[in-house]
Structures are given as C-alpha cells and as structure tokens.
Amino acid sequence: MRKKSSGYILIAPLVLGCLVFYLAPFLLVLRFSFSAGSGKSIRWVGLENYQRLIQNDSFALAFGNSMKFFAVGLPLIMVLAYLIALLMQKQTGRHKLLKSVFLFPYIMPVAGTVLLVDLFFSEMGLLNSLLNIMGLPAAQWMEGSSAFWVTIGLYLWKNVGYAIILLLAGLITIPSDQYESADLDGASTWQKFFFITTPQMWYSVFFALVFSIINGFKCFREIFLIGGQEPGDEIYMLQHFLNNSFESLNYASLSVSSILLLTAILIFFGVFYGFVNRKEAYRT
Amino acid sequence: MKRVILCISVLAFWLLTFSTFFSMRVEEWMVPSVTTIEPEFSFADHIGHAPLDCLFETEMGDEIFTVYEGTMWDAGIRARILLSTDYTVTPEDVQLMSDPIIEYATKTPRSGELVEVIINPERSEDYWLAVSKDGALPTLGELANGVIIEEQTERELLLYIEKVPLPFMEKRAQSMVPIAKIEDDFTPWMDDNREIDWESVDWEAVEVARPKAPSFYSLIDIEKWMAQMPKIGLLAGSMLASLSLWGFSCILSREWKKNRKLLIANGFFMLLLLSALPILLHYIDLPSSLLPSTHIVDLGYYAREFGDIFGALNHFAAQGSQAADDAINQAKSMLWMSGGLATAVSIITIGLCVTEIIFSKKRRVHYAVKDRQHEEK
Amino acid sequence: MTESRVFRGVSGAFAALLSVIFLAPFCYVLLSSFWTGNGVNFMPYYDVFWAQSQYMLRFWRSLGLCLCVGLGQLFVSVLAGFGFAKCRFPGRDVIFFGLMILMVLPVQVTLVPNYIMMGQLGLLDSYLALILPLIFAPLGAFILRQSFASIPENIIDAAMLDGCGIPTIILKIAIPMNVSGLVCAFLLSFLDAWNMVEQPIAYLRNFNYYPLSVALAYVPPADVPIHLVCCILVVLPCFLLFAFFNQELVEGITLAEVK
C-alpha cells in the first residue's frame, strides 16, 4: 500500500540532494551571518553583522534597487501577459504566428541578448541611428535612469512568453458556457472579467508570479554581463552586491544579505500562498 | 511539422559532427611548420643580427614574425607580427633585439595563427620547381651547395637538390636559389645621424630593377598531395552517400510506420559512414606548403597554383626529364583512383537505395497476397 | 461572440507588433551573420565551423553536460514528483513548500557555501560541480508533482489491487500518461543548464572547460560576425528542441494547472 515509507523512499533522492547542495550551504550561510572572521578565528557575534549591514549604503542601494525592479517589473509582466493571454483565449484560431513565436525570447541565450542589447542600445547602436535619421537627439541609453528601463524592457521581452503560457493554461480551463450565460444576462466585458475569470485564475496567477520572480532573478546575468561588476547606480542589484561580496570574500555581508533576501521572499510567498489557498478553498 | 523538424535536426547533427571532425583536421593541415632563429647578438654594436630571409611578404608589406604562447580563445603557440619600430632593415641584414623569430615557414604565417616549430628536421633529396609568376625568369645568383639546374624553360626551372631539410619551405628555397643582386642597387643614403633618407630612393626604379622571386614548389610535396587524392575522393563519395541516404530517409519518413525497418537500416548506414569519417580524415595528410594561406576552400588558389605546377611539369616531361614524367604519371593514376573510388561509393549507395525500394515493394506485394488469401478463405 | 471590427483590427495589429518584437532580434542575428555592409560573406561561418575546432568541441561538451543534467534531473524529479503527488506522509506539504522556496532563491545565495563545499569534496574544476547541484534542483519535481496529481486515483488503486509495486505503477501508468509533463520538465532543466552563467565562472578555473554559453558571454570573440555565428550555434539546439516539443511543452504546463 501507499505507506508513508514508500513516500519517503520516493522523495529521498531529491530531498537528500537538496539537503546537500542547497540546504547545507544555506545553513552555512546562516552561521556565517552570525559570526565574524574566517577560517580558524570564527566567533559568534550575534546580530552585529545585521546592524552593520542595514546601515551599509551599497546594501541599501542594492536592496532598494532590487525591490524597485520587482515592484515595477512584476506588475508590468503580469498585466502584459494577462492581456496577451486573454487575447489568445478569445480569438482562438487567429494569431498563429504569435502563438508559435512567444517562447522564442525565452530560449535566446544570455550571450545573444547581451550582444543584442549592445548592438541596439549602445551609443552607436541601432536605436540611436534610428533617432538620428529621424532628426531626434541620440540618448545615452545605458547610463542613468534609462538603464533601469532598458533592464525592465529586457526582462519583459524575455519572460513574458513564459507567463503567457502559465496564464493561458488557467484560462483554458474556464468553461466557455459560463461566458455565454453571462452574455445572455447582459454582462459587460469588465464584469465578466472580474466575476468569472479572476476568481478561477488565482492558482495560475500564483504560478505565473512564482516563475516571473525566478526569471527576474535570472535577469541578473544579462545585467552583469552588460554593466560589469560595478554598474551604474540605477541598476546595482542585490545580486551585484552578493557577487561583489563574494569577490572580496566578505562572507559576513554576503550571508546577511542572503538571509534578508530569503526573509523577504518567505514573507511575500507565505502571504500570497495563504491568500491563494483561501481563495481556492472557496472553489473546491 | 514534427517530421520536418526531425529531418532538419538529423541533418544539423550530421553537419555539426562532420564540421567537428573536419575542423579538427583542417586546423592541423593549415598549421604552417616554421623554423625559428635567434638573432645573433654582436658585441660590436650591441644588437642582434638576423638574415634578410626573415622578412615575410604579406599584404601589408614586409613583416617579421615571432612566436608566443596565447591564452583563452587564443591558446597555443602562435605567430605574431613584430612591430616595425622594434627592428631596422639594412641592406645586409635585419637588426633587432628579440626572442627567436621565424626564419622559414611552409606558408606565410598570419598574425594570431597557430604554428608548429620544427627543431631537428630530417633531410632528404628533392626536386624543386621554380615558376616565375610574371614574365620571364630573373637572372639567378649563385646557387647554394648541392643545387643543380636540371631543366629550364623561359619561365620555369627544374632543380635537383641533394640534401635539403624537410618539410619544404619556400623561403629556404628562395634563399638557396637567390636572384642575382643588381649592380646598381638603390641603397638609400644614410645621413649623418645614421638614419635612412627615404626621400632619396627612386621607388619606381627599384620596382622595375628588382624583380619578384619565382614561386617554388617541391616535388615531394606535390607527390604527397596527389597521394591524398584517392582518400579525398573516398571522402567526397561518402559525404554524398550520407546526404543521399538522408534525403532518401526523409522521403521514406512520410510513411514511417510502414518503412520502419528501412529507416533503421538507413540510420545504421549513416552512422557507419559518420564514424568512418574521422578515420578517413586522419589518414589524409595534406602538406601545408601547397595550402592557401587564408582558408582551405579557396578554389581559385588551387586552380592557379596547380595550373602553374602541371604546366611546368608538362614542359619538362616534354624535354625528357624523368622526374617530371614520374610526377605526372603518379598524379594521373591518383586522380583516376580518386574518381573511381568516389564513383564506386556512389554506385554502392544507389544500389543500396534501389535494394531497399525493391525489398519494401516485395514485402508490400507479399502482404497484399496474404491479405487476398485471407479474404478468399 | 460578436466583436467589433475595430477591436479585431486593433488586436490583430497588436499581435503582429508583438510577433515582430519577439522575432526581430533572431532575424537580425541570422541576417547580420552573413550580411555585412558590403554584401554576402560566409567567412564567419567558415571560421567558426571549419577553420577552428575549438567552437565545435566546446559545443559538444556543453551539449553532453546539459543532457546529463536534463536526464539526471528527470530521473530524480519523476521519483520525487510521484512521491509528493500520490503518497501521503506527514510533513509532505511542509517539505514541498520548503522545496518551492529553495527553487526561487537566486544562485548567488548558495554560491559561496557551495564553493567551499565543493572545494572540500574535491569537485572544484570538474564538470561534476556543475552537474550535481542542477540535478537536484526542485523545478522538475514541482512541475511533475502537478502533472502527476492529475492521474485519477482509481487507476492507481486498481493497479495496486492487481499487485503492482510502485516502480511498475510509475513506469507503466504514470509516465505514459504524462509524457508532456516529463518533456516539459526535461526541456526546462536543459534550458537552465544550457544558459547557466554564474556557476561555471565560480567553480571552474580553467577557461577551456567553460561551456559554450558562458565562454561566449564572458569573453566574447573579438570579431562581431563570429560572435553572431556563435550565437546562432548556441541557439540552435534549444530552438530545435523547443520547436519539436512545442505541443508537449504547452500541454505540460497546462496540466500543471489542472486541479
């Protein structure tokens, strides 16, 4: 029978592997965050590292930038993906090209996107040439605040396809007769969306959010390769901070920032997961 | 749709595998063998001296090359152009302070290209062809020891050398069979600061008076090249065979359920041919002195050079030279073998495809007969 | 549903614009790899494919690496996904939630301790340091758990009554019913491995061992056309795989949603 033991045996490889390669390092990180010094001279210093780090300027900048990135990027990508998914749901049979094409940016390798950004947005790039032809002044796209928007644009371009699939999957499961009966009752598009679509989509929205966050963290690779280790202030992300701490072997700040990042993720997830579960409990 | 992508993927896989094996071999063929020489340091003027042979003619004029060890994408021993500020050219020699520089090479190196440094070359006898590229042969100076002119026409020379280091290097040949020095050579004047006064040189006159050295070819290398021809023919034949098997399989795959066994057989043969490729490529050994300097598929280069070579050989064979005659006969037989092998492989492949078609038709007839027997019962 | 002509026109234009935005960079890369200002020039292709073997060798090495990762993760995820979906044991949901959190963490968080650990295990500077952590990534288990959850309970009960053990159930029932989920998990983990950047830079010291995508990104070849051709080479396997499994991919993610 499906005893508990068979369950444990089945998940054993994965859990053991995760323990070794993800959890154990994380516990090390936890320990580093509460100690100072390295090698033989580790000593327990409690929360002193945390205090020092919160007052650290570059950490505050990095943390703030990452939060800003997600605060701007996540809603944008969800809205855009939702719009496109709704479009594809309503007009089945059309937009064949779009349907086959929207996953392409996701499979584009990092080297390719870096090259493209270079070709397109650099000072002698395509965009500036276009602007020159139209008589508009060329701008420094990779510096200052426009670099942030370039990063957001890159994130959207690459990952909206993934979110579209996740949302589309949820939209497909909504039976169409619900819409038809709503039409008969004379409901407007907005009412249909709010009362029929949204309540059944919470799980899909949650998935799309999870994967968009994962992809957002991966966006760091492109930023790193375009901007280098010390990019401009606008796009100095938390992972840059982590990376630089790694380079300078500053284990303490590396660990503390990792713990803080994890806490932020845990809080966000716990809240949203509970919210989604409550909404879903209404349905089943 | 899936079938199309699968066919394209198989072709892509085949092309990529072929490219891998081919590029590994091309790298080895295109590597020029070089000999290096240390500039002789003279305590008189505290500078090293190297012979004028070390100047290589490139598109950007005369250059000197050194060797260095590269990193990252440029790993390995490579050639590098020495900055023209690091050396001075005088009429007698080159003055420089440097690590060993390249003296002779089987073909002109390019900056950044891999090279193979030869240290203790073996020596052997050889015949050389000298073909003048524009106009008549220039007057020759004093030939080196052991070099004998066997035959001569207006533009070509056949030379016999008793003992020369292998592999054949053109610049070494040019130094052993030098052009006669012009009496009134246009050495520029040096002013009081021992700096060359380039203004005083009449460059046009220099061009006219100093003709280009003829191109040299070694008969050993030519025979070696021709000996590779059959293998190249076999290679071309097997490539054609693989591609036609692929095309045939694509057509068969339209009804893949019926043709399952045939497709598996085809796949097996394609894999067999693919695994024979590296073995075949390993045995092909092209001498780098006859290869183009930039890329190996420069067909114009081959046409020109081999046109010159065989033109000269034909002239000399007509004049009765045994060596030229042997070379031409060998080349002819090798080319025939090559064509024969390529044709044989193609015929085998076509035979294979035809057999498969017949086999599948027979089976269809067989099953059709069986079905009819079933119905009749 | 009745839609106004304007709406159809606008939506059509919108879709077309999006398609162009998604597709244009690829076409640009493809085109400029052999079209320079002066006309068609296939030299970069010759340089990458035939003149030097380092690009192709690196390509095959990366491919082998990613296939190992994909297959390994598939194996581990099938077991774990089935365990989470169909077996009841205490702590199941908590463990699953924990795994989900681990999935979201960016690589940098565990990079340093992993580096220290790899050093102690002696795995640094070898491909195992890259393969092992990726095999045990929770992403595959996440996707497969969702897709295995959709197998009706009665089928499994019937199989158990017939006396099938769990391996048989997995092999004969779960896998054939969920091919799209398996394909989806394999493709996503393959893509993750193919595109990984941080781990090779941290764990491998020798540039010669870098997989193709990292080597290309970290030290781009000086020549832009060669860089473009290399990009095409890097995109090619992913493109072919995703094109071939397009249907399964969409289905697999769809099944992950159906409760």
Which amino acid, residue B70?
Answer: G
> Are C140 and C77 contacting, i.e. CB atoms less than 8 angstroms apart?
yes
Q: Is the pLDDT of residue C256 over 60?
A: no
C140: closest CA among C111, C85, C103? C103
Looking at chain A, which residue has its C-alpha nearest residue C241?
Answer: A107
> Are B180 and B141 contacting, i.e. CB atoms less than 8 angstroms apart?
yes
Q: Is the pLDDT of residue C259 over 50?
A: no
Instruction: Give the distance from residue C94's alpha carbon to the nearest chain A alpha carbon, in angstroms.
Output: 12
Q: What is the mean pLDDT of residues C106-110?
A: 74
Would the CB atoms of B72 and C56 count as touching at under 8 Å? no
The pLDDT value given to residue B54 = 78
The structure tokens 């066994």 sit at B261
Planar angle of CA A159, A162, A163, nearest 5 degrees: 90
**Chain A residues lying within 8 Å of C14, measured CB to CB:** 87
Cα(B115)–Cα(B67) distance, integer angstroms: 8
Instruction: Give the distance from residue A108's alpha carbon to the nearest chain C alpha carbon, in angstroms.
Output: 6
| Interface with A, mutate which of C27, C31, C195 (most A CBs under 10 A) | C195
What's the distance, CA B166 to chain centroid? Answer: 16
**Percent of chain B clearing pLDDT 90 (strictly above):** 3
pLDDT band, very low/low/confident/very high, at A133 (cuts 50, 70, 90): confident
The pLDDT value given to residue B30 = 83
Neighbouring residues of C56: CB distance < 8 A, sequence distance ≥ 6: B16, B19, B20, B23, B24, C49
Q: What is the mean pLDDT of residues C4-18?
A: 79
Cα(A160)–Cα(A77) distance, integer angstroms: 6
Q: Of residues A38 and B288, which shows the higher confidence score?
A: B288
pLDDT in tens, C118-143: 877 777 778 888 888 888 888 888 88
> Are B217 and B129 contacting, i.e. CB atoms less than 8 angstroms apart?
yes
- HSE toward the beta carbon, residue B114, CA cutoff 13 A: 18
Cα(C64)–Cα(C70) distance, integer angstroms: 10
Closest partner residue to C87 (CB to CB) among A10, A116, A251 is A10
Looking at chain A, which residue has its C-alpha nearest residue C109?
Answer: A258
Rounded CA Rg of chain C:
23
- HSE toward the beta carbon, residue B278, CA cutoff 13 A: 9
B77: closest CA among B25, B109, B113? B113
Instruction: Give the distance from residue C220's alpha carbon to the nearest chain B alpha carbon, in angstroms.
Output: 9
Query: Chains with 3 or more CB pairs closer than 8 angstroms to A?
Result: C
> Are C252 and C143 contacting, i.e. CB atoms less than 8 angstroms apart?
yes
Looking at chain C, which residue has its C-alpha nearest residue B22?
Answer: C50
Cα(C105)–Cα(A266) distance, integer angstroms: 10
How many A-C residue pairs are in contact by the CB < 8 A criterion? Answer: 251
Q: What is the largest CA-CA distance in chain B?
A: 117
> Are A42 and C104 contacting, i.e. CB atoms less than 8 angstroms apart?
no
Instruction: Give the distance from residue A7's alpha carbon to the nearest chain C alpha carbon, in angstroms.
Output: 5
As a whole number of Å, the end-to-end CA separation of chain B is 42
Q: What is the mean pLDDT of residues C60-79?
A: 90
Q: Of residues A229 and B4, which shows the higher confidence score?
A: B4
Cα–Cα separations (whole angstroms), residue B170 to B29, B81, B176, B299:
17, 19, 10, 21
The pLDDT value given to residue C51 = 80
Instruction: Give every strand in the sheet of B147-152, ordered side by side.
Output: B147-152, B156-165, B123-131, B215-218
pLDDT band, very low/low/confident/very high, at B149 (cuts 50, 70, 90): confident
Strands B116-117 and B33-37: parallel
Q: What is the mean pLDDT of residues B203-230?
A: 77
| Interface with B, mutate which of C45, C50, C238 (most B CBs under 10 A) | C50
Q: Is the pLDDT of residue A38 over 70?
A: no
Mean predicted lDDT score pLDDT of chain B: 81
Looking at chain C, which residue has its C-alpha nearest residue B297?
Answer: C46
Would the CB atoms of C257 and A15 count as touching at under 8 Å? no
Closest partner residue to C53 (CB to CB) among B12, B23, B297 is B23
Q: Is the pLDDT of residue B185 over 60?
A: no
The pLDDT value given to residue A37 = 61
User: Which segment of A278-282, B302-306, B311-315, C200-204 scores lowest on mean pLDDT?
Assistant: A278-282
Q: Is the pLDDT of residue A284 over 50?
A: no
| Interface with C, mutate which of B16, B23, B235, B295 (most C CBs under 10 A) | B23
Closest partner residue to A14 (CB to CB) among C80, C89, C101 is C80
User: Which segment of B338-347, C86-95, C160-169 scores lowest on mean pLDDT?
Assistant: C160-169
Cα(A122)–Cα(A128) distance, integer angstroms: 8
Report chain C residues touching chain B, CB-CB < 8 A. 43, 46, 49-57, 59-60, 207-208, 215, 219, 221, 236, 240, 243-244
Would the CB atoms of C28 and A116 count as touching at under 8 Å? yes
> Are A242 and C108 contacting, i.e. CB atoms less than 8 angstroms apart?
yes
Q: What is the mean pLDDT of residues C112-123?
A: 78
pLDDT band, very low/low/confident/very high, at B35 (cuts 50, 70, 90): confident
The pLDDT value given to residue B17 = 92
> Are C188 and C139 contacting, i.e. CB atoms less than 8 angstroms apart?
yes
> Are C150 and C252 contacting, i.e. CB atoms less than 8 angstroms apart?
no
Would the CB atoms of C60 and B12 count as touching at under 8 Å? no
Q: Is the pLDDT of residue C1 over 60?
A: no
Closest partner residue to B20 (CB to CB) among C60, C221, C244 is C60
Instruction: Give the distance from residue A161's alpha carbon to the nearest chain C alpha carbon, in angstroms.
Output: 9
Q: What angle do helix axes A144-172 and C5-34 make, rounded to 10 degrees? A: 120
**Percent of chain C clearing pLDDT 90 (strictly above):** 4
The pLDDT value given to residue C67 = 92
Cα(B245)–Cα(B252) distance, integer angstroms: 10
Instruction: Give the distance from residue B111's alpha carbon to the nearest chain C alpha carbon, in angstroms.
Output: 14
The pLDDT value given to residue B188 = 62
Q: Is the pLDDT of residue C257 over 80?
A: no
Which amino acid, residue A14?
Answer: L
pLDDT in tens, B36-91: 888 888 777 778 888 877 778 777 777 888 888 877 767 778 888 888 777 777 77
As given in the structure block, the two tokens for residue A195 are 């009362």
Q: State yes or no: ipTM above 0.95.
A: no
Whether omega before B167 lies within 30 degrees of 0, making that bond cis, reads: yes
Q: Is the pLDDT of residue B325 over 80?
A: yes
**Chain A residues lying within 8 Å of C218, measured CB to CB:** 225
Query: Chains with 3 or more CB pairs closer than 8 angstroms to B?
Result: C
pLDDT band, very low/low/confident/very high, at B295 (cuts 50, 70, 90): confident
| Interface with C, mutate which of B15, B19, B274 (most C CBs under 10 A) | B19
Would the CB atoms of B72 and C59 count as touching at under 8 Å? no
Q: Is the pLDDT of residue A188 over 80?
A: no
Neighbouring residues of B81: CB distance < 8 A, sequence distance ≥ 6: B63, B64, B65, B111
How many B-C residue pairs are in contact by the CB < 8 A criterion? Answer: 54
pLDDT band, very low/low/confident/very high, at B207 (cuts 50, 70, 90): low
pLDDT band, very low/low/confident/very high, at B248 (cuts 50, 70, 90): confident
What's the distance, CA B219 to chain centroid? Answer: 15
Please state the three-class secondary structure of A197-247 as a single string.
HHHHCHHHHHHHHHHHHHHHHHCHHHHHHHHCCCCCHHHCCHHHHHHHHHH
Would the CB atoms of B2 and C244 count as touching at under 8 Å? yes
Would the CB atoms of B19 and C56 count as touching at under 8 Å? yes
Closest partner residue to A173 (CB to CB) among C135, C216, C258 is C258
Closest partner residue to B23 (CB to CB) among C51, C207, C240 is C51
The pLDDT value given to residue A94 = 63
As given in the structure block, the two tokens for residue B215 are 């191109």
The pLDDT value given to residue B189 = 61
> Are C65 and C131 contacting, i.e. CB atoms less than 8 angstroms apart?
yes
E-only strand ranges, chain B:
33-37, 40-42, 47-51, 56-58, 61-63, 65-70, 76-81, 87-89, 93-96, 101-105, 116-117, 123-131, 147-152, 156-165, 215-218
As given in the structure block, the two tokens for residue B330 are 């060998």
The pLDDT value given to residue A39 = 58
Strand partners, B114: B78
Strand partners, B49: B40, B95
Q: Of residues B36 and A229, which shows the higher confidence score?
A: B36
